[in-house]
Amino acid sequence: MNRIMRTWLWVLFVFLSFSMGRAQGDRKICVIPKPQNVVMGGGEFVWNARTEWHTNLKGKEKILLDRYLQMLPYRLAKGKVKADANIVRLTLESLPNTTNPEAYLLQVTPKEIEVKANTGAGLFYGLQTLFQLGGGIDSAELNIPCVTISDEPRFVHRGYMLDVSRHFFPKEFILKMLDVLAYYKINVFHFHLVDTGGWRIEISRYPKLTEMTAYRPAADLDEWRRRKNVFCTKEVEGAYGGYYTKDDIREIVAYAAARHITVIPEIDMPGHSREVLWAYPEYACKGKNASNSNELCIGQEETFTFCKNVLKEVMELFPSAYIHIGGDEANRNIWKECDRCKKRMAEEHIDGVPGLQNYFTNSIERFLAAHGKTLIGWDEILDGDVSPRAVVMSWREEVDGGGEALRRGHRVIQSPTSHCYLDYFQDNPYFEPQGLLGYTPLKQTYGFEPLPEGDFDKSLVLGVQGNLWTEHVLDTDRAEYMTFPRMLAVAEVGWTNPALKSYPDFRERVLKALDYLRAREIHPFNLSTEIGPRPEAEKPVCSLAKGKKVTYLKPYNREFAASGETTLTDGWLGNWNSNGARWQGFGGDMDVVIDLEQPTELHAVKASFIQILTGGQYIPEKLEISISDDGKNYRSLYEHTYETDNKRLYEIYLFGWVGKSKARYIRFHATRAISWGNILSDEIIVK
């Protein structure tokens, strides 16, 4: 079945199943993403047995459309329009005021609906808007409000990423998600196919990738880690996982293309490759076992041959102009210990292991370019002199990856953790399913602005993307819950001009859209019962330390810098999220001194700590509070040890001293409980 046939099948199926509902007077239209220009008219178009379909499509395209209309049952009219007919007209023609290939013009009058567009993509998006105008069939006669909508997207890339490595999702679920994504004009599906959790795509030349690492003995990643991250074959009792055959991939790609969605595959390299090294340990720096490494050996030429052979098969399956190679979070220390890697660095005059990864990235970039493909990588690829042709997908807001890429002239796709990571909690974590690290409610995602400040070519920002990592997303229901409705916010950020956006208006439209999602058997987050931000974070705290200078005896973690050296005495408590502007992290001990500027009566010295075990955020093992009159000689005020409750995946604790004393200086020393992770605190409160 060709692309045109698949497109019309989807268009007409949606039209039958979900399209239009009875208008209620002069109601405000409910469309997501919000169109750029809307002019309401008077009256309604009545969809009934007299409605005729007309089009200027010719030849095979017209025949295919007519065949599928008959399935509704409708059909393209023959000859002239009947005197008493009302018309749906589909017209491909050049729009007068835009050349945007995704633009459309939708006009609804009492006698006619017409969708005009420059291309098939624009026509498709115009139909999606038409389908949303009513919101669901509720009678044999449908009333559609008269309106004129001229519309086009703000950005060319409006994407959704699904991690199918850490947890596998069946092909049927992927197709279901593509249907819904298309309905909201998402045009890119980023398919995160391989990672340390399992290899999910058939590669003919390397069959052991799926034979040996597409399954593992435990679905739950924490349980799997307790079992030393071992993989197993499909035949093992209790084996969890799966993979997509080449035919599966072809079906997914064709299904997406029929909905004007481009599928971009991600094949992680050179990091996140534990599954590769399990199946083919010869590509590891440490040889046979490779049990201590997730990184490919860049020192041997066979690794490059392997990567390029895999990418050849991937390129045969995915017609996308882009191939994503990951490139993030590689533990480069392993290359420092490898004789082959050290030899390559010497031979190629490479200064340090960051340069070695850059050497690898540029080699793969040249290979992809020779095959007509463009490399996409996470913002770690900027750690060297990467080719200007490479596209940067920016995720680390704390290093301003997007801004750095733009300053260096790279095209950028914005997907920062702060707004676009859909595995983060979307409401009060005490009542939410297990999430990772942060709190990213719908309002925060909706408030994202992809264009950073600065003097740069704004066309370099290709768009925005929501990412669903699935460490703690065990099944399809959970994936839907974490995705929706936040992907609707991503859709509107990517499509609608900022001047037209309003969160109260958007929230009202989302509440109505939830009914559509539930009718599609999607399980979204229930926005109507949202609790919202942490109440304690909504108003300033009363503290004698507010505004006072803090001296850091040990540095804070720059990845959790919050507002820098004012964080702990700015008078504000943190929200539910550890990734926000108020929680400051310490990769080692937290050891600070507060100068109250004069001897002060003390009755309490406390601080709150956030524990998110899934994100490596732990309470301190020990807390010591001491005081001084001169800043040199300290006396102990409080000392206590704490034990982490591993059953509490999320908790905010308030630790400290209550009593009576007097001093000018307060030293607050919290000892880290384990050798990794962070201690996070938002405020030291002095009463």
The CA distance from 435 to 468, in Å, is: 11
Sign of the torsion angle spanned by Cα atoms 467, 473, 476, 481: negative
- The angle formed by the CA atoms of residues 493, 498 and 502, to the nearest 5 degrees, is 85
Pairing status of strand 157-163 against strand 188-192:
parallel
- Which structure tokens are listed for 499? 């001047």
CB 194 within 8 A of CB 268: yes
Residue 272 falls in the annotated catalytic set = yes
CA distance 9 to 181: 16
Q: CB pairs under 8 A, 24+ apart, for 273-276?
A: 273/196, 274/196, 274/229, 275/165, 275/194, 275/195, 275/196, 275/197, 275/198, 275/199, 275/209, 275/213, 275/231, 276/194, 276/199, 276/209, 276/213, 276/306
- Can you read off the two tokens belonging to residue 43? 């009256």
Closest CA to 261 of 171, 160, 172, 372: 160
User: How far is 393 from 411, CA to CA, in rounded Å?
Assistant: 9
d(CA 491, CA 160): 9
Residue closest to 466 by CA, chosen among 446, 452, 451: 446
Q: Which residue has the tokens 């929200």?
A: 575
What distance, in Å, lies between the first and last C-alpha atoms of the chain?
Answer: 73
* Residue of 157, 272, 324, 419 marked active site: 272
* Residues 425/445, Cβ–Cβ less than 8 Å: no
Catalytic residue among 220, 329, 385, 508: 329
Q: Which of 195, 266, 268, 379 is catalytic?
A: 195
C-alpha pair distances (Å), 135 with each of 21, 23, 29, 142: 5, 9, 10, 11
Active site residues: 195, 272, 329
